């Protein structure tokens, strides 16, 4: 159904009876490291990669440590914070089992030139978390390691006849109320399911998470960030405009930095302020009619994007390394070895789970100023025995490097990605010579 325009006092658009939940694990990398080290979440901890704090738990934040601070900045803010470096591996080494890693490795000095970060432990923990999420919905869209969207509409409809009468979580934009429509009842049941998910994650895996419950993807994502940590929030249709009013423009999913900056330049910081503009005035700021309409509707709570599982064809596996200024092929081969080891390890695990293979390999490289950032690709046939994956990938990767060897130096960043996944039916054709007649 075509959406109608909003005005500032009344919402007049069609609202589908959907119930979406966004689950966001609190300080995911830091929680993973805390669990691995046997520490409680009350112990201040930062997860570090090459001197950068990529994740800061809430106990450390309460003591002044900020996300994405450097390690010296973190130690200055709170000298007793636990510092946990991500696992790393060297050329020629296989990536270790994430549950058998020597914990001493997390505290030694690391050489960025000859080592690469391994995220296998975090991926393994994410798989455990997603296995629980998949119990609550047949439609789970993985957004990242630590975030997922669930379409629980079917589940809440099943519970509709035996519904309870309690809201779980913070009601954004208003107070708790007795549902007055079927859709409000469905959202209330959705809040119950979100609470159950969060309780099971804590009781089973000892991970806390935050959740957002609403009737579209944008709103449930926003709600998940507005009652953290270890909380949940709901955005209902009757309160949507009030709930969005104080929200910073930059917090809306997919708005991006440039959109926020464009409105900040003319004095608009929040969605409530942005809604003071009509469509024509919005266009005057953005200078693009399609984008102006898109912003106008989302500032008023409208989003038509559905929660759905990503198709195999859209899957991409990338491994990259920031290498500073590499100027010789000998040094670059060290980097290539690290990146391809990571890429191959991830492909094998993905294949074991989904039995799909990529059809193309892409090389990404750039200099320090990203002036010559380039992508070059080649087709790859991996409809073979998985034992041959590694040699096939290495052969194609080196052919790509050879084709750009005059352009790749000095190299600041290098990555390989696998794309265009499709089902691999190799297993169907396996047979032994004895049974062949």
The answer for 50, left when phi > 0, alpha when psi is -120 to 50, beta otherwise, is left
Look at residue 100 and tell me if it is in a domain: yes
Q: Are residues 301 and 346 in the same domain?
A: no
> Does residue 343 sit in the same domain as residue 423?
yes
- Three-class secondary structure of residue 22 per DSSP: strand
- Regarding whether 81 and 46 lie in a shared domain, the answer is yes
| CATH code at position 94 | 3.40.1170.60
Q: 328 with 418, same domain?
A: yes
Which two structure tokens, joined as six digits, stand for 361?
């390999």
- Looking at the fold, whether 346 and 404 belong to one and the same domain comes out as yes
Residue pair 412/366 in contact by the 8 Å Cβ criterion: yes
Residue 165, in any domain of the structure = no
Is the residue at 203 inside a domain?
A: no
CATH number for the domain harbouring residue 349: 3.30.1490.100
Q: Is the same domain home to 290 and 329?
A: no
Q: How many domains does the chain have?
A: 3
Listed as ranges, residues in the chain with pLDDT below 70 are 1-14, 96-108, 162-164, 312-314, 368-372, 425-437
Q: What tokens were used for 207?
A: 């991970």
Q: Are residues 320 and 387 in the same domain?
A: yes
Write down the pLDDT at residue 313. 63
Q: How confident is the model at residue 65, as a pLDDT?
A: 97
Q: Which of 84, 115, 146 represents a domain boundary (last residue)? A: 115
- Residues 259, 317 within the same domain: no
Please tell me the distance from the alpha carbon of residue 261 to that of residue 252, in angstroms, as a whole number. Answer: 13
pLDDT of residue 97: 62
| Domain-terminating residue out of 70, 87, 115 | 115
- Note the pLDDT of residue 193: 97
Read off the pLDDT of residues 208-226 as tens digits, 9 standing for 90 and up.
999 999 999 999 999 999 9
In a domain, residue 420? The reply is yes
**The pLDDT of residue 94:** 73
Cα-based angle 36, 41, 45 (whole degrees, multiple of 5):
70
Q: What is the CATH number of the domain that holds 274?
A: 1.10.150.20
287 and 367 inside one domain: no
Beta pairing, strands 116-117 & 88-89? antiparallel
Task: Look at residue 319 and give its three-state secondary structure.
Answer: strand
Residue 325: φ, ψ to 5°: -105, 95
In a domain, 108, yes or no: yes
User: Is the same domain home to 56 and 107?
Assistant: yes
pLDDT score recorded for residue 3: 35
Q: 88 near 119, Cβ under 8 Å?
A: no
pLDDT single digits (tens) 167-208: 899 999 999 888 889 999 999 999 999 999 999 999 999 999
Task: Report the alpha-carbon distance of residue 33 to residue 54 in Å, rounded.
Answer: 12
Upper half-sphere CA count for residue 243 (Cβ side, 13 Å): 31
* DSSP calls for 172-198: TTS------SHHHHHHHHHHHHHHHHH
- Please state whether beta strands 209-214 and 232-234 pair in parallel, antiparallel, or not at all (unpaired): parallel
3-class secondary-structure state, position 124: helix
CA distance 130 to 137: 11
For residue range 85-109, list pLDDT tens digits in order.
999 998 888 776 655 555 566 666 7
Identify whether 176 is part of a domain: no
Tokens of 163: 């519904």
Helix (H) / strand (E) containing 332 = helix 329-354
- pLDDT for the residue numbered 104: 61
**Token pair of 434 as six digits:** 């004895």
Last residue of a domain, one of 305, 323, 349: 305
Determine the pLDDT at residue 426: 54
- Residue 419: partners with Cβ closer than 8 Å, 6 or more residues away: 315, 316, 358, 359, 360, 362, 377
Q: Which domain holds residue 106?
A: 28-115
Q: What is the pLDDT of residue 4?
A: 34
Q: What CA–CA distance (Å, rounded) separates 252 from 226? A: 12
Query: Pairing state of beta strands 411-419 and 360-366?
Result: antiparallel
Give the separation between CA 342 and CA 123, rounded to whole angstroms. 12
Position 432 scores a pLDDT of: 44
Do residues 299 and 316 both lie within one domain?
Answer: no
DSSP secondary structure code for residue 161 in this structure: G
Q: Confirm whether 275 is domain-assigned.
A: yes
How would you label 280-316 residue by residue, b for 16+ Cβ within 10 Å and e otherwise?
Answer: eebbebbeeeeebebbbbbbbbbbeeebeeeebeebe
How remote is the C-alpha of 400 from its chain's centroid?
29
**Residue 374: what are its φ and ψ, rounded to 5°?**
-135, 155
How wide is the angle at C-alpha 389 spanned by C-alphas 384 and 392, nearest 5°?
95
* Inside any domain, residue 353: yes
Considering the domain architecture, whether residues 266 and 335 belong to the same structural domain is answered as no
């Amino acid at each position: 159904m075509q959406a109608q325009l909003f005005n500032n006092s009344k919402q007049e658009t069609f609202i589908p009876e959907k119930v979406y939940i966004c689950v966001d694990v609190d300080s995911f990398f830091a929680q993973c490291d805390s669990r691995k080290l046997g520490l409680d979440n009350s112990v201040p901890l930062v997860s570090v990669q090459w001197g950068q704090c990529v994740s800061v738990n809430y106990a450390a934040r309460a003591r002044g440590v900020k996300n994405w601070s450097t390690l010296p900045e973190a130690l200055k803010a709170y000298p007793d914070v636990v510092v946990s470096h991500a696992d790393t591996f060297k050329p020629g080494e296989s990536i270790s089992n994430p549950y058998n890693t020597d914990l001493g490795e997390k505290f030694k000095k690391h050489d960025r030139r000859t080592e690469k970060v391994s995220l296998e432990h975090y991926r393994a923990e994410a798989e455990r978390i997603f296995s629980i999420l998949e119990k609550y919905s047949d439609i789970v869209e993985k957004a990242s390691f630590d975030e997922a969207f669930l379409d629980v509409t079917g589940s809440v409809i099943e519970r509709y006849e035996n519904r309870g009468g309690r809201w779980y979580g913070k009601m954004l934009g208003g107070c708790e109320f007795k549902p007055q429509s079927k859709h409000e009842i469905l959202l209330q049941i959705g809040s119950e399911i979100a609470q159950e998910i969060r309780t099971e994650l804590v009781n089973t895996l000892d991970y806390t998470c935050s959740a957002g419950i609403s009737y579209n993807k944008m709103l449930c994502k926003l709600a998940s960030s507005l009652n953290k940590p270890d909380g949940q929030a709901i955005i209902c249709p009757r309160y949507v405009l009030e709930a969005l009013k104080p929200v910073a423009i930059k917090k809306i999913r997919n708005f991006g930095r440039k959109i926020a900056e464009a409105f900040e330049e003319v004095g608009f910081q929040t969605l409530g302020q942005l809604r003071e503009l009509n469509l024509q005035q919005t266009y005057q700021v953005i200078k693009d009619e399609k984008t102006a309409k898109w912003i106008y509707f989302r500032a008023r709570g409208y989003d038509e994007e559905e929660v759905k599982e990503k198709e195999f064809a859209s899957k991409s596996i990338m491994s990259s390394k920031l290498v500073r200024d590499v100027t010789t092929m000998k040094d670059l081969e060290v980097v290539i070895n690290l990146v391809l080891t990571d890429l191959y390890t991830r492909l094998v695990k993905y294949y074991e789970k989904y039995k799909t293979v990529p059809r193309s390999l892409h090389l990404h490289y750039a200099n320090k100023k990203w002036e010559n950032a380039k992508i070059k690709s080649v087709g790859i046939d991996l409809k073979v025995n998985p034992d041959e994956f590694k040699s096939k990938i290495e052969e194609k990767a080196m052919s790509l490097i050879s084709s750009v060897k005059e352009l790749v130096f000095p190299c600041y960043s290098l990555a390989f990605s696998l794309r265009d996944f499709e089902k691999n039916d190799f297993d169907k054709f396996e047979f032994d010579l004895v049974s062949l007649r």
